């Protein structure tokens, strides 16, 4: 998943809590040097429980766990929390607290599956069978049934359904998570689901555990008018079965508040409420945790993780991440990028070693291919592109671009785990490419939502993006990000790129790359159930991507979290897949 694409501004504020208290922000204690502008909300503050003072250094007095408020600081504030309308990791942090999936990832694992709303599940051939958990209710009080999943699936993928979300509103997850694979859903048996696939598809059970496969309430879906525009409204008042229920969405102050679901079927929750607040500037956000005004934060830069690690009041938690950061070259818009020699020249010129070691300073490693380590199919025989500007100039000359050319590099501003200092990184790329005669104009976006709209529409010449795994399967990188997901015959002969306007085009493929040999490999691999065979095919696909260089492969980043001392030790689990798992968190 990408880490915010809000769909429209809806200043929806639900009923306020009891006593009001100001959740303050700590002062900035140093600059991370990336020229990012903090977004810290306005003068008005969200109403929260009085127990939120425990997030500001108070010892909590006689407060019980049910009175305590867990405060999670993050870098962005989306305004829509419908898991079917987004590709954003910032949205998923919240929706993973509100909604459940049929199958889920075990906390702290590298993608191990466990029971969710389904207690038993299997995939044989093209048939998935699931036994549903009994006595689960939505936050509205409606009982959870098989029909809720059927309505969820149809809202996301079925234009014949009266309550279909609509092509323009649904995210790109609709097709590749469920729509491309499910032939039918049988919800006729009480407590059972039978899902028939259109083909063998190895990652399917893992797809059911992804945040985009969250189970919605059929009653809520059908409470809206039967039109795509009406369905958009679900994102500002989401109802799920998860450990926390939606309470307040305070867009003017960039906050959202959830309250404990006392009827949750799983462990916890152990606090009465959760507040997500936004502090876009890295150093201010980590200082907020050190000071005790927040309990947890993520997307740390090098300065932030060092300060958290050396603090007496905070702890740095770190785990190998399953993600990739990259710079994509758009072959549709930029004719020079259609030549592999030019793409390789750019990869040889960009000093990714300097980016990783000097800008990210030790919590990331250089990338060599689309698939990160620790995932089936990662090709250990591939090395990152070395920095060789003489060879880069030679390749440009050979391709007919010895005099150079100009292009735009689009970048976001707010930090991401795979790119915590995007403006500084863009400046490094511009400097490196100037050395080989290329002129780069940096196009900086202040908000991530419009940025994703821009790249989804293919309006960029080149752009920075990254991806956190949704399901720890190689398909989630290699098919989702670099297969255009159109029929092979739609790719013109002798061409390894395709137009964004092609019917059914996968807009997550922001390079417009369409290499048919690669497409055949990843499509055969996803329909193969033999693990060794899949491993071999994915290694070949990674080598093709490395050699063809549709991206500059930048980094694989660790998953980092700063935790305040008020969090009881070992109750917050860092996970590279799914989460954050806030239902188990306890406060002192």
Structure tokens at 50: 């009085």
Give the tokens for residue 293. Answer: 């005004």
Residue 145: CATH number of its domain: 3.40.190.10
The reported pLDDT for the residue numbered 501 is: 95
Provide CB contacts within 8 A for 129, sequence distance 6+: 121, 122, 192, 193, 194, 195
Sign (positive/negative) of CA torsion 499, 501, 505, 511? positive
Please give the Cα distance from 172 to 241 (Å, whole number): 24
Q: Are residues 280 and 381 in the same domain?
A: no
End-to-end CA distance of the chain: 33
Q: Are residues 394 and 460 in the same domain?
A: yes
41 in any annotated domain: no
Find where tokens 């150093």 sit.
283
Distance in angstroms (rounded) separating the CA atoms of residues 561 and 540: 34
Question: Does 435 reside within a domain?
Answer: yes
State how far the Cα of 22 lies from the Cα of 51, in Å rounded to an integer.
Answer: 11
What is the pLDDT tens value at each position of the chain, 588 positions in all?
Answer: 764 433 332 232 222 232 333 332 222 223 333 333 333 333 334 443 333 434 443 433 344 567 899 999 998 899 999 999 998 889 999 999 999 999 999 998 888 999 999 999 999 999 999 999 999 999 999 999 999 999 999 999 999 999 999 998 999 889 889 988 999 999 999 999 999 999 999 999 999 999 999 999 999 999 999 888 899 999 999 999 999 999 999 999 999 999 999 999 999 999 999 999 999 888 899 999 999 999 999 988 778 888 999 999 999 998 888 999 999 999 999 999 999 999 999 999 999 999 999 998 878 999 999 999 989 999 999 999 999 999 999 999 999 999 999 999 999 988 788 998 899 999 999 999 999 999 999 999 998 889 999 999 999 999 999 998 889 999 999 999 999 999 999 999 999 999 999 998 999 999 999 999 999 999 999 999 999 999 999 999 999 999 999 999 999 999 889 999 999 999 999 998 999 999 999 999
569 is a domain residue? no
Query: Are residues 380 and 483 located together in one domain of the fold?
Result: yes
Is residue 32 one of the residues assigned to a domain? no
Backbone angles phi, psi at 543, to 5 degrees: -65, -40
What is the spatial distance between Cα 80 and Cα 282, in angstroms, rounded to a whole number? 23
* pTM summary value: 0.80
Q: Give CA–CA dist 132/499, Å, rounded.
A: 43
The token duo for 307 is 């300060």
Within-domain flag for 24: no
Of 316, 344, 365, the residue at which a domain comes to its end is 316
123 cis-preceded (ω within 30 degrees of 0): no
Instruction: Identify the pLDDT of residue 448.
Output: 86
Domain identity same for 173 and 227? yes
Q: Within a domain: residue 144?
A: yes
- Burial (CB count <10 Å: 0-12, 13-18, 19+), residue 493: exposed
| Residue 334: CB atoms within 10 Å | 18
From the list 421, 427, 432, the residue with the least C-alpha distance to 359 is 421
SS3 state at 14: coil
- Residues 223 and 366 grouped into a single domain: no
In a shared domain, residues 169 and 219:
yes
pLDDT the model gives residue 19 = 30
Residue 40: per-residue pLDDT: 35
d(CA 299, CA 165): 31
- List Cβ neighbours of 229 (8 Å cut-off, separation of 6 or more): 166, 169
C-alpha to C-alpha distance for 209 and 579, rounded to whole angstroms = 11
Q: Examine the domain organization and report whether 307 and 442 are in the same domain.
A: no
Q: Is there a single domain that holds both residue 307 and residue 366?
A: no
Among 249, 284, 316, residue at a domain's last position: 316
How buried is 277 (Cβ within 10 angstroms: 0-12 exposed, 13-18 middle, 19+ buried)?
A: buried
Look at residue 586 and tell me if it is in a domain. Answer: no
Residue span of the structural domain in which 400 resides: 323-557
* Residues across the chain: 588
Query: Is residue 90 domain-shared with residue 216, that is, in the same domain?
Result: yes
The reply to whether 283 and 345 lie within a common domain is no
> Cα separations (Å) of 245 from 182, 277, 287, 556?
30, 17, 28, 34
Cβ pair 583, 267 in contact under 8 A? yes
DSSP state, residue 403: T
Q: Measured between alpha carbons, how far is 79 from 276 in angstroms, rounded to an integer?
A: 12
Count how many domains the chain has: 2
Question: In angstroms, what CA-CA distances link 348 with 153, 388, 396, 487?
Answer: 44, 5, 11, 32
Is 143 domain-assigned?
yes
Residue that is last in its domain, among 316, 344, 363: 316
Q: What share of the chain is helix, strand, coil (3-state, %, to 5)?
A: 30, 20, 50
CATH of the domain at 341: 3.10.105.10
Tally of CB atoms within 10 A around 28: 17
Q: Are residues 132 and 97 in the same domain?
A: yes
Task: Specify the 3-state DSSP secondary structure of 358.
Answer: helix
Residue 333 and residue 263 in one domain: no
Q: What is the pLDDT of residue 51?
A: 36
Pairing status of strand 118-124 against strand 127-132:
antiparallel
Helix (H) / strand (E) containing 365: strand 364-366
How many other β-carbons are positioned within 10 Å of the β-carbon of residue 163? 20
pLDDT of residue 294: 98
């Amino acid at each position: 998943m990408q880490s915010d694409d809000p769909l429209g501004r809806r200043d929806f504020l639900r009923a306020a809590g009891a006593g009001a208290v100001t959740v303050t922000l700590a002062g900035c204690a140093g600059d991370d040097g990336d020229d990012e502008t903090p977004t810290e909300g306005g003068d008005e503050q969200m109403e929260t429980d009085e127990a939120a003072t425990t997030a500001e250094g108070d010892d909590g007095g006689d407060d019980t766990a049910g009175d305590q408020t867990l405060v999670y600081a993050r870098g962005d504030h989306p305004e829509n929390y419908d898991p079917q309308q987004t590709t954003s990791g910032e949205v998923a942090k919240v929706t993973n607290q509100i909604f459940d999936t049929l199958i889920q990832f075990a906390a702290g694992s590298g993608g191990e599956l466990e029971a969710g709303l389904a207690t038993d599940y299997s995939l044989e051939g093209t048939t998935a069978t699931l036994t549903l958990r009994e006595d689960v209710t939505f936050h509205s009080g409606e009982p959870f049934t098989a029909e809720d999943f059927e309505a969820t699936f149809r809202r996301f993928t079925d234009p014949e359904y009266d309550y279909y979300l609509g092509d323009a509103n649904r995210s790109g997850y609709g097709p590749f998570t469920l729509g491309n694979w499910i032939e039918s859903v049988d919800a006729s048996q009480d407590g059972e689901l039978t899902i028939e696939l259109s083909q063998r598809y190895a990652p399917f059970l893992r797809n059911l555990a992804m945040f985009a496969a969250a189970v919605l309430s059929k009653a809520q879906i059908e409470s809206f008018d039967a039109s795509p525009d009406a369905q958009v409204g679900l994102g500002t008042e989401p109802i799920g079965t998860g450990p926390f229920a939606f309470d307040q969405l305070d867009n003017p102050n960039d906050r959202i508040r959830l309250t404990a679901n006392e009827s949750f079927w799983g462990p916890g929750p152990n606090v009465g409420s959760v507040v997500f607040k936004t502090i876009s500037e890295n150093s201010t956000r980590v200082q907020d945790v050190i000071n005790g005004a927040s309990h947890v934060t993520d997307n740390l830069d090098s300065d932030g993780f060092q300060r958290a690690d050396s603090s007496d009041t905070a702890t740095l938690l770190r785990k190998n991440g399953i993600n990739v950061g990259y710079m994509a070259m758009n072959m549709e818009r930029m004719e020079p990028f259609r030549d592999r020699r030019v793409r390789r020249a750019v990869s040889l010129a960009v000093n990714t070693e300097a980016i990783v070691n000097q800008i990210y300073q030790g919590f990331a490693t250089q990338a060599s291919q689309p698939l990160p380590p620790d995932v089936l199919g990662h090709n250990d025989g591939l090395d990152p592109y070395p920095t060789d500007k003489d060879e880069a100039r030679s390749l440009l000359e050979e391709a007919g671009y010895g005099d150079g050319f100009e292009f735009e590099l689009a970048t976001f501003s707010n930090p991401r785990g795979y790119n915590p200092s995007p403006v500084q990184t863009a400046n490094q790329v511009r400097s490196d490419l100037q050395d080989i005669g290329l002129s780069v104009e940096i196009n900086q976006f202040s908000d991530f939502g419009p940025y994703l709209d821009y790249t989804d529409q293919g309006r960029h010449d080149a752009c920075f993006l990254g991806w956190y795994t949704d399901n720890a399967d190689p398909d989630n990188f290699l098919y989702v990000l670099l297969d255009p997901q159109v029929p092979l015959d739609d790719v013109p002969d002798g061409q390894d790129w395709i137009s964004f306007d092609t019917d059914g085009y996968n807009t997550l493929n922001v390079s417009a790359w369409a290499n048919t040999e690669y497409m055949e490999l990843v499509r055969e691999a996803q329909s193969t159930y033999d693990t060794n065979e899949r491993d071999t095919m994915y290694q070949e696909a990674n080598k093709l991507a490395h050699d063809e260089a549709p991206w500059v492969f930048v980094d694989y980043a660790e998953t980092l979290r700063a935790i305040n001392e008020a969090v009881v030790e070992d109750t917050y689990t860092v996970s590279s897949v799914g989460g954050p798992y806030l239902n188990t968190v306890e406060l002192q």
